[in-house]
Structure 1
Amino acid sequence: MSLLITCDTGGWKTPSRLRSHLEGTELSSAGVIAGRIGGDQLLRPAVDREANFAARRLAHRCGGVVVCNEYRGDLINVGHSLHHRQLFPAGARALPTLTREVIVQEIYTPYRNRVQRQLLDLLRSWSYVVHLSIRTFAAKTREGHWRRGDVGLLYDPARQDETDWCLDLIDELYLSTPDLKVRRNHPGRGTNDSLTKSLRMQFSPDVYLGIEIVLNRAWMGRSVLRRDQTLDLVGDAVGELSGEPIERAA
Structure 2
Amino acid sequence: MLAFVLSCEHGGNKVPAAFAHLFKGQQELLSSHRGYDIGAKELFEELKGDAHAAFFADTTRLLVELNRSLNSKSIFSSVTNNLPEPEKQQVLQEYYHPYRQAVEKQIQSCITAGRQVLHLSVHTFTPVLEGEVRQANIGLLYDPKRSIEKSFCRQLKEQLLQLQPSLQVRYNYPYLGVSDGFPTYLRRKFPAQQYIGIELEINQKYPLGETLLWEELKSIVKESLQRLLSLYKLPEIEK
Pick aligned residue for 2:157 from 170, 186, 192: 170
Contact 1:140 1:147 in 2 (8 A): yes
**1:163-196, Cα deviation, whole Å (9 max, x unpaired):** 0000001111111111111000011100000000
Which amino acid in structure 1 is aligned with residue 6 of structure 2?
I
Which amino acid in structure 1 is aligned with residue 3 of structure 2?
S
**Pair 1:5 & 2:6 matched:** yes
Pick aligned residue for 2:67 from 61, 79, 89: 79
**Pair 1:120 & 2:121 matched:** no
> Following the alignment from structure 1 to structure 2, what is the Cα–Cα distance between the partners of residues 114 and 88?
21
Q: How does the TM-score come out when normalised to structure 1?
A: 0.85
> Following the alignment from structure 2 to structure 1, what is the Cα–Cα distance between the partners of residues 31 and 78?
20
Contact 2:156 2:224 in 1 (8 A): yes
> Following the alignment from structure 1 to structure 2, what is the Cα–Cα distance between the partners of residues 164 and 104?
35
2:175 corresponds in structure 1 to 188
The RMSD of aligned alpha carbons is: 2.1
Pick aligned residue for 2:21 from 10, 24, 33: 24
Pick aligned residue for 1:219 from 199, 206, 215: 206
Identity fraction in percent: 26
Q: How big is the shift at 1:80? A: 0.4
Sort the Cα spacing of 1:122 and 1:232 in 2 relative to 1 into closer, same or farther, 3 A: farther
2:121 corresponds in structure 1 to 133
Aligned pairs, number: 232
**Pair 1:210 & 2:197 matched:** yes
Instruction: State the SS of the aligned residue for 1:92.
Output: coil
Sort the Cα spacing of 1:221 and 1:125 in 2 relative to 1 into closer, same or farther, 3 A: farther
Q: How big is the shift at 1:23? A: 5.0
Instruction: State the SS of the aligned residue for 1:119.
Output: helix
> Following the alignment from structure 1 to structure 2, what is the Cα–Cα distance between the partners of residues 233 and 98?
45
Sort the Cα spacing of 1:162 and 1:23 in 2 relative to 1 into closer, same or farther, 3 A: closer
Contact 2:5 2:51 in 1 (8 A): no
In structure 1, the gaps of 5 or more residues are 246-250
Q: How does the TM-score come out when normalised to structure 2?
A: 0.89
Instruction: State the SS of the aligned residue for 2:21.
Output: coil
